[in-house]
A and B are shown apart, each in its own frame.
Chain A
């Protein structure tokens, strides 16, 4: 059974800090790993998708890495801003299914 874990559940940082969000998965038969952002009361917005053959993806101030051997992915956010405050979810894509973590709620304090 696929399980995806995100620790911590909540994180508060001052504006301008660089930060790392963690995601652990148990199934080594991973097809891809996605990071999403969810604002309160809203749906999910895809941020980055890493295929199993890749090690990282970058978009602007975001960088996501994938280490299949250790079952871990990280989302690095550079120079955090108050607008980055949201819940970040990772999702492991397997054969015909996606398993989501429960998310890390990030608050960036001005």
Chain B
């Protein structure tokens, strides 16, 4: 069964901490995405990657960075966490040429910044 795995379901961190969210997929997908989901705002794209070591900014990249050293793994980094980054974070992946079709999602990480 195909799978996108996010390392933590729930995470609590403090303001100013550096936070790492990890995502691993076992489908050999080229494209990987990070979204955040907030009530009333829907899903918003933070960053995406279409190949190893490649990254592209999404709609709301400020305060975030990403790393893709291996095809199966895409990490989201909050350089200095702030309370407005409290949210549900969702990782997704898709095959090459399907930038507009993220079809497989992980279960999400609910991140609280105190």
Which residues from chain A sit less than 8 Å from chain B, CB to CB?
Answer: 4, 31-32, 34, 36, 41-46, 49, 89, 91, 93-98, 100-103
Contacts and interface: CB of A to CB of B under 8 A. Distances in A.
B13 interface: no
Contacts of A43: 4, 90, 92, 105-108
A4 B99 CA distance: 18
Nearest to A102: B42
Contacts of A46: 103-104
A31 B58 CA distance: 18
A96 B42 CA distance: 18
B100 A96 contact: yes
Contacts of B105: 36, 43-45
Interface of B: 4, 9, 40-43, 45, 58, 90, 92, 99-108, 110
A44 B90 contact: yes
B90 A49 contact: no
> What secondary structure prevails in chain B residues at the interface with A?
loop
B40 A102 contact: yes
B103 A96 contact: no
Contacts, number: 53
Given A32-B100, A94-B100, A97-B58, 11 more contacts: A4-B42, A34-B101, A34-B103, A43-B107, A49-B103, A89-B42, A93-B100, A98-B45, A100-B43, A102-B41, A102-B42
A21 to B, nearest CB: 15
Contact of A96 (B9, B92, B99, B110): B99
Contacts of A93: 100-101
A4 B44 CA distance: 12
Contact of B99 (A34, A45, A97): A97
B112 to A, nearest CB: 14
A46 B41 CA distance: 20
Most buried by B among A36, A49, A97: A97
A25 to B, nearest CB: 13
Q: What 7 pairs across the A-B complex have the smallest Cβ distances? A: A93-B100, A43-B105, A100-B43, A102-B42, A44-B105, A100-B42, A96-B99
